[in-house]
Amino acid sequence: MLTLRTVVATSAGLTLASSSFVAAVQVAGFLAGDSAWLAILVGGLLCLAAGACFSELNDILPSAAGIRLYFGRAFGEKAALTVSILYMLVIMGVVGAESFILAKILNHAIPWVAPLAWIVVLQVAATLMNIRGIKIAGTFQDVITYGLMISMALMSYWGLKNIDFQLAAPLATGGAGSLFAAVAVGVFLFVGFEWVTPLAEEVTDSRLISRGMFLAVGLLSVVYSLFTVVMAANVPREELVGSPVPQLLFARSVLGEAGVIWAVVVSLAASITTFNAGMISISRFFYATARENALPAVFSKISVRYLTPWVSILAVFAVGFTLSVIILFTGKYLVLVNMAAAAECMVYALAGISVLVLRKKINRERTFTIPWGPVIPVFTAAVFAFLAAGVFATDPYAAVGIASGLAVIWWYVSRVVPVLREKARAGRALRSRKSRAGTGDPAMVPAVSKAEKRPDKV
């Protein structure tokens, strides 16, 4: 059984990624002065409200199915399947962006190895690990996550020392519009903290999931705020915003070449848990969805030797690798970051609405209920819907991507899924008839003709 320490480490570790540093400098780029901390703390507080909604949903329906089950009970299977598939596809985009960013960092450290080669190595290694069923142990997860946060705090201290602990206008945001845009993108920094809810069946007390999420968001808010402000105070903002490796630029400015080594180690550690967890979550989602006949049956194939969904894992690899190569040649990694931020806002808004709906649908004793009645769920739904609109306003390409994805997936769920399920039902019926015939069930024995009864008359 998992402890609170590991629940916190898992929740925080899923959000700590190399792409998070890219989102952090985007937050700083929206704001005047060194006020990025303000936007990140506001984003963290809003995520605490979303975390409260997920905590109540987890208490109502403690299951490894997570948002698929919550949204299915609240809005119906078709809507839940559409949102879940879109969310998984966006996370696949983040996996692609993550491997691209990490490949660029490694290319900076070892220039004679091309980024494309690193992308191949990283994704093939993660794919083989997943196929073989190699899991990151809870203790290893604890060491990596807490080590990362301590490392970021120490680097922030050295960065502050480098500027004599002087920040320029730490309260100047540049206006409400700038702060709003920064908060909307800043939500990406916390993407995935709620993925810890599927562990509800692996803890002694489901309330540990709630506490773990709250503690993780609180710790991340402080670490991200400090690190982002110091990073932007040490390196010209235009250099950071235009780079896929801002943490490397910051580390080099503070510690020289030793900082480059630090950035490589930190980025590798950050990507290990996020990249691996992303592949595990998405491949298992595809496997489970295929078992429910909402995806082609081939995705439900299991490796006889390793008992892992190898077809789904290879599919994740194929899509992730393709996106990484596209990003490598187009440089459009920020579109995927913004799409992930928007999708996350949409999921959080739906979580708030789900709480309100399921409170009426499922009436039973609970160990966790959000205080103040409908206030926090309504606030969460309204604010995150507004923030999603803000992301779309700042990046129209992200809006087009999400809208196109929803349209295609809705068509798939409405038209293709019923066909797949009808074929599955027909297949089961045929197998059942064959099985009954094989056991000698008289009802399944074919009719015998008169000629067969009296062969002498043929």
- 28 vs 192, more confident: 28
Is the pLDDT at 413 greater than 90? The verdict is yes
- Please check whether residue 25 lies inside any domain of the structure: yes
Is the pLDDT at 64 greater than 70? The verdict is no
Q: Which residues pair with 2 in a beta bridge?
A: 203
Q: Which residues pair with 203 in a beta bridge?
A: 2
Mean pLDDT, range 133-145, rounded to an integer: 69
Q: What is the pLDDT of residue 448?
A: 45
Average pLDDT, the chain: 85
Poorest-pLDDT segment among 115-124, 149-158, 205-214, 332-341: 205-214
Q: What is the pLDDT of residue 165?
A: 85
Structure tokens at 129: 């690990």
* HEC sequence for 386-407: HHHHHHHHHCHHHHHHHHHHHH
Q: What are phi and psi of 365, to 5 degrees?
A: -70, 140
- 385 vs 61, more confident: 385
Tell me the whole-structure pTM to 2 decimals. Answer: 0.83
**Sign of the Cα pseudo-torsion (214, 220, 223, 224, in order):** negative
- Please check whether residue 420 lies inside any domain of the structure: no
- Please check whether residue 353 lies inside any domain of the structure: yes
Is the pLDDT at 455 greater than 60? The verdict is no
* Number of structural domains the chain divides into: 1
Q: What is the pLDDT of residue 447?
A: 47
Q: What is the pLDDT of residue 453?
A: 42
Q: What is the pLDDT of residue 157?
A: 94
Is the pLDDT at 3 greater than 90? The verdict is no
Residue 187: closest CA among 376, 20, 11, 394: 20
- Please check whether residue 198 lies inside any domain of the structure: yes
For residue 211, the domain's CATH number is: 1.20.1740.10
Report the distance separating Cα 442 and Cα 330, nearest Å.
66
- 15 vs 28, more confident: 28
Is the pLDDT at 145 greater than 80? The verdict is yes
Mean pLDDT, range 220-239, rounded to an integer: 93
Mean pLDDT, range 402-424, rounded to an integer: 93
Q: What is the pLDDT of residue 156?
A: 93
- Please check whether residue 421 lies inside any domain of the structure: no
Mapped onto helix, strand or coil, the DSSP state of residue 2 is strand
- Please check whether residue 437 lies inside any domain of the structure: no
- Please check whether residue 434 lies inside any domain of the structure: no
* pLDDT bracket for residue 450 (50, 70, 90): very low
Is the pLDDT at 457 greater than 80? The verdict is no
Domain range for residue 287?
Answer: 4-408
396 exposure class (CB count in 10 Å sphere: 0-12, 13-18, 19+): exposed
Distance between terminal CA atoms of the chain?
A: 73
pLDDT tens for each residue of 237-283: 889 988 888 999 999 999 888 888 888 888 888 777 677 666 777 88
- Please check whether residue 346 lies inside any domain of the structure: yes
- 192 vs 60, more confident: 60
Q: What is the pLDDT of residue 222?
A: 94
- 200 vs 323, more confident: 323
DSSP string, 169-230: -TT--S-HHHHHHHHHHHGGGGTTGGGGGGGGGGBSSTHHHHHHHHHHHHHHHHHHHHHHHH
Q: What is the pLDDT of residue 434?
A: 77
